[in-house]
Amino acid sequence: MSSGSRIVQVAVVVLGLLFLPGCGCGVPEKREVALPPRDASPEQVLRTYFDAIVGQDANTFRAVLTLDTDFWYEFDAPDAPFRTWFSASDLRIEGPYEDGDCRRGATCVAMVTTFVLSRCLLDEWPGGLQSTSFGLRLVDGRWLVYGHGDG
């Protein structure tokens, strides 16, 4: 093998490693996730949130979030769950508990969620075991998540 072809092989590998995170590394096949029924419990809605992220179902993901959610943070920010999470396994949900951050006049609950996270990018929310609180708000008789770890 000539040194020129060896250099090309090394360059292809290095470029592949550099561009892999931006190309959806490890992202499973897209799949549709069913919306939970209107009377779904907060736990069912939160499970749908996670299923929609790892299934890359933007429509369902958006549908289980409140309208005042920061959609940029959820979908497009450098550490956005929809952009970087490709697996959230061993999901355990505790609660619901009273949510002290609930806006005045609203009905909300908080749920502590533990899961093993796999991500494409390394940043302040690394992969591995995670435990965070999610807030859900009752909107027109339906529970909706009001943001990524905002509870």
Q: How confident is the model over 55-72, as pLDDT tens digits? A: 889 999 999 999 988 888
Each residue's pLDDT tens digit, 75-89: 888 778 887 777 788
135 in Cβ contact with 103 (< 8 Å): no
Give yes or no for residue 150 having a pLDDT over 50: no
> What pTM does this model have?
0.75
Residue 107 has pLDDT above 70, yes or no: yes
Per-residue tokens: 7: 């250099």
Residue 135, H or E segment:
strand 128-139
Residue that has been written with the tokens 């009905």 in this structure:
107
- Please state, in angstroms and rounded to a whole number, the distance separating the CA atoms of residues 24 and 79: 13
Backbone angles phi, psi at 22, to 5 degrees: -75, -10
pLDDT of 6-30, one tens digit each? 553 444 444 444 444 444 455 556 8
Three-state secondary structure call for residue 122: coil
Per the CB < 8 A criterion, the answer to whether 117 and 130 are in contact is yes
Residue type, position 6, single letter: R
Torsion of CA 137, 127, 87, 76, to 10 degrees: 60
Beta strands in 6-124 (DSSP E): 85-98, 108-119
Average pLDDT value over all residues in the chain: 78
